Amino acid sequence: MKYRGDNNKDGLSALGFGCMRFPKKGNGFDHDEIERELKYAVENGVNYFDTAFLYPGNEEILGKILEKTGLRDRINIASKMPHYYMKTVEDAEKHFNEQLSRLRTDHIDYYLMHMLPDVKTWRALCERGIDKWLEEKKSAGKIRRIGFSFHGSSDMFIRLLHEYDWEFAQIQYNYLDENTQAGVRGLKEAAFMGIPVIIMEPLRGGRLVNALPKKAVEIIKTSTPGWSTAEFGLRWLWNQPEVTTVLSGMNSMEMVRENIRIAADMEPGSLNPDIMSTYEKVISEIESKANIRCTGCSYCMPCPMGVDIPGCFRIFNSSHIDGYSNGLREYYMCTAMKNERSMASRCVKCGKCETKCPQGIEIRKELVRVKRRFENPVFKLMTFLMPGKLK
Q: Are residues 171 and 318 in the same domain?
A: no
Q: Are residues 73 and 145 in the same domain?
A: yes
- 293-307: pLDDT as tens digits: 887 888 899 999 999
Confidence of residue 211 (pLDDT cuts 50, 70, 90): confident
Stated as kind and residue range, the H or E segment containing 95 is: helix 89-103
Whether 375 contacts 341, CB under 8 Å: no
- Which residues have CB under 8 Å from 96's CB, separation 6+? 81, 108, 137, 142
If asked whether residues 37 and 170 sit together in one domain, one would say: yes
- Rounded CA-CA distance 264/18 in Å is 18
- 351 in a structural domain: yes
Instruction: Report if residue 6 sits inside a domain.
Output: no
Residues 6+ apart with CB under 8 A from 299: 356, 357, 358
Q: Are residues 267 and 150 part of one domain?
A: yes
Cα–Cα distance, 110 to 316 (Å, whole number): 33
> Does some domain include residue 344?
yes
Question: What local confidence, expressed as pLDDT, does residue 387 receive?
Answer: 55
- 114 lies in the same domain as 59: yes
CA separation for the pair 79, 236 (Å, rounded): 26
Q: Which domain holds residue 371?
A: 309-385
Any domain includes 290: no
Residues 249 and 337 in one domain: no
- Tell me: do 153 and 91 sit in the same domain: yes
Angle, helices 154-161 vs 183-192, to 10°: value is: 20
pLDDT tens profile 219-254: 999 999 999 999 999 999 999 999 999 999 998 999
Q: Based on the domain organization, do 343 and 266 belong to the same domain? A: no
379 lies in the same domain as 270:
no
User: Do residues 173 and 58 both lie within one domain?
Assistant: yes
In a domain, 120, yes or no: yes
Same domain, 239 and 161: yes
Task: List all residues 6 or more positions away from 224 whose beta carbon is below 8 Å from its beta carbon.
Answer: 231, 232, 275, 278
Q: Centre a 10 Å sphere on the Cβ of residue 276 and count the other Cβ atoms it contains.
A: 12
Phi, psi dihedral angles at 201 (to 5 degrees): 50, 45
